[in-house]
Chains A and B, each alone.
Chain A
Amino acid sequence: MVNFLRSFSVLLIILLMVPLQVVLTWYFPRLAMLDLPMIAVIYLTIAKESLFWTIFSGSAIGFLQDSLSLSALGMNGFTKISIGCLAYLANSIFAIDRVMTRFGLLFISSILATLLFLLLRIMVLNRNEVIEGGRLLMSGIVNALVGLPLFYLFDKIVRPPNE
């Protein structure tokens, strides 16, 4: 029963992140650089230590995000799965349970997700994109700073107390 509730809470986190992002960007347009769905995918990857969860959460969140956005269907899903796989790889090499490693993972993932998304826009949608270094770094820092307390919160919800 407890395990079921924990799995249910994981699904709830997945489902809540995208609507939360939509509401946040409406009320606070400056928070657009925050990528809550990406933070959720990274967390689920390192918490569950399973590629199934990476692909499942990445595709579900990406699909939901695409359906509420102007991006072509699949672009966010591809980005989220790729970043999730990177997090899975990092988690198998380093112990992603300390503040600094988590900060580093979130920071790097945010920058790579942005670059990957822009690359997809250039290659798939034939857009001319300008990569702004300052904005890229800022979004990395913002995502890492918001992600850390969220990870702590998710730890309390998802992980059993004895872990």
Chain B
Amino acid sequence: MDVASPMLKSLVGSLTSVSKIWHGYIDLREARQENLLLKIKLAEYQQTLISYEEKIKELGRLHVLDELQANLEVPAIIARVIGGDSSQWYNSRIIDQGLDVGVTKDCAVISVDGVVGRVVHASKKSAVVQLITDADSGAGVLLETSRAQGVLKGGGKREASIDYIGTNEKVVAGEKVLTSGLDQIYPKGLLVGYVVSAVPTKQIFQNVEITIAANIQKLEEVLVLKKEPRS
């Protein structure tokens, strides 16, 4: 017994150690697998969180558009931007609302920041919007303080110019540019942009450069102002 017990003790001790190491190894393997699974789950949750955050942001934007829609004198409909222009020569966007809901040619399109453009083609379910920055676009505008009226011409990018502002008009940088309503497309009083510079020329008109208020490059939802009167 005296001889066998130390041997038995050390054997049991060794076996216990081996068993501990083995279990530790098994646990480590399981922990590794668990860790991998948790990482995958974490990535999934992060993705879900991002999509929820996007939804919350979208709801926020839609809420602002809803408020704007309620305050407008003309009936309006919310549309989503679903595409850009199919060629490099024009500035246009495709929206997901069309003739089915009353979006017709020459309907004005605005965002919470300001005027975006007008509908040029409309099909049943979608429409093409010519952006106010398009080089071929034009809009009747007036300056908020001086009340001088002119025609806005798109510059291709976020800048635009106003033609036919007389040199005798006092135009100040930062002044708001609003729609005049004279073009029969954009209702009067919508924000278009802000004056950047006004340079008098030797002719009777001055060169007025403006920056467009709406963030054209980041348009996601817009309001289309219908032609029919609000019922």
B93 x A117 contact (CB < 8 A):
no
In the complex, what distance in Å separates the CA atom of A37 from the CA atom of B85? 13
A71 x B89 contact (CB < 8 A):
yes
A9 interfacial by beta-carbon distance below 8 Å: no
A26 x B92 contact (CB < 8 A):
no
Inter-chain residue pair count (beta carbon < 8 A): 65
A12 interfacial by beta-carbon distance below 8 Å: no
Q: Which of B81, B82, B128 contacts A70 (CB 8 A)?
A: B128
Are A35 and B87 also in contact (CB < 8 A) when A22-B94, A29-B217, A69-B128 are? Answer: yes
In the complex, what distance in Å separates the CA atom of A76 from the CA atom of B89? 11
Chain B contact-residue range equals: 20 to 34
* Nearest CB of chain B from residue A142's CB, rounded to whole Å: 10
Residue of chain B at shortest CB distance from A125: B136
How many residues on the A side are at the interface (Cβ–Cβ under 8 A)?
Answer: 26
B88 x A19 contact (CB < 8 A):
no
Mark A66-107 against chain B: 1 for CB-CB distance below 8 A, else 0: 011111000010000000000000000000000000000000
B83 x A29 contact (CB < 8 A):
no
Chain B interface residues toward A at CB < 8 A = 81-90, 92-94, 120-121, 128, 130, 134, 136, 217
Chain A interface residues toward B at CB < 8 A = 18-19, 21-27, 29, 32-33, 35, 37, 64-65, 67-71, 76, 117, 121, 127, 139
